[in-house]
Amino acid sequence: MSYASVDGLQIALTDGVLHLTLDRPAQRNAIDDTVMQGLIDAIDAAGRDEAVRAILLAGTGDHFCSGADIVARNTPTGERPRVGSIQRRVPSLAHRLIPLVVNVQVPVVCAARGYVAGIGLHLAAAADFTVVADDATLWEPFAQRGFTPDSGGTWLLPRRIGPARARELLLLGRRLTGTEAAAWQLVHQAIPSADVDATGVALAAQLAAGPTVSLGLTKWLLHQGEGRSLEAHLADEAFALELSSRSEDFREGLGAFKDKRDPDFKGR
């Protein structure tokens, strides 16, 4: 399977890691429809591509993502769209992207500095591991702009940080530094800005070298378990165990344990 960059989004597959790098630094990497569709297509394909064993989301320049490019979308063009254009468009764009990040059965790492706002914050919250600069700014701009959150913000944040803190971000527009976001457990780690890229690359490489089938199923279990009864979840665990125990990596893991050596997983 091949991957091609699009305007505003660099895409490259290297050593099992699919690099998705927002590349609109002059707009603080605000996501327009072209970038959104590029992310959707790449992540959707990655879920079927056995060559992809991890995904790394990042941004060029000083910022990860300042949100959706609403300025470009609302620039007067002389003709207003039909009533209901947002309701028709969002399900196939932002509301398709976030579930893909959550559900794709490979680990997703997000490395972010500068502004991590709106859908940029939701990408960071949806990722399996997020590393941010300690001086990053994590912000939900919706209340200050007079419209309601989209792209899963009102679903993700209460589950990540609890309803009280989610209200601070979504209703009061509180801005968090990367250090505060880590203390709130909204992200996994806050580190000096100069170290963000290398740390993200190293973490994605570590995950790409892991037992991909097992990691993907474990990610699925963690997500499914949020809305399942214990009995239903235990049935899901049995299903995942059956699949993972049939993988080549499971046999390699057992062999490595027996031989007292590190496993060499191939992702199969």
Render each residue's pLDDT in the chain as its tens digit; 268 residues: 889 999 999 999 999 999 999 999 999 999 999 999 999 999 999 999 999 999 999 999 999 999 998 765 655 556 777 776 677 777 778 889 999 999 999 999 999 999 999 999 999 999 999 999 999 999 999 988 888 889 999 999 999 999 999 999 999 999 999 999 999 999 999 999 999 999 999 999 999 999 999 999 999 999 999 889 999 999 999 999 999 999 999 999 999 999 999 999 999 9
Q: What global pTM score does this model have? A: 0.92
State residue 73's pLDDT score. 60
DSSP structure string for 182-251:
HHTTSSSEEE-GGGHHHHHHHHHHHHHTS-HHHHHHHHHHHHHGGGS-HHHHHHHHHHHHHHHTTSHHHH
- Asked whether 12 and 57 are in contact (CB, 8 A), the reply is no
Residue with tokens 């992310």: 39
Residues 49 and 16: their CA atoms lie apart, in Å, by 10
Residue with tokens 């893991």: 253
Over residues 128-175, the pLDDT tens digits come to 999 999 999 999 999 888 888 899 999 999 999 999 999 999 999 999
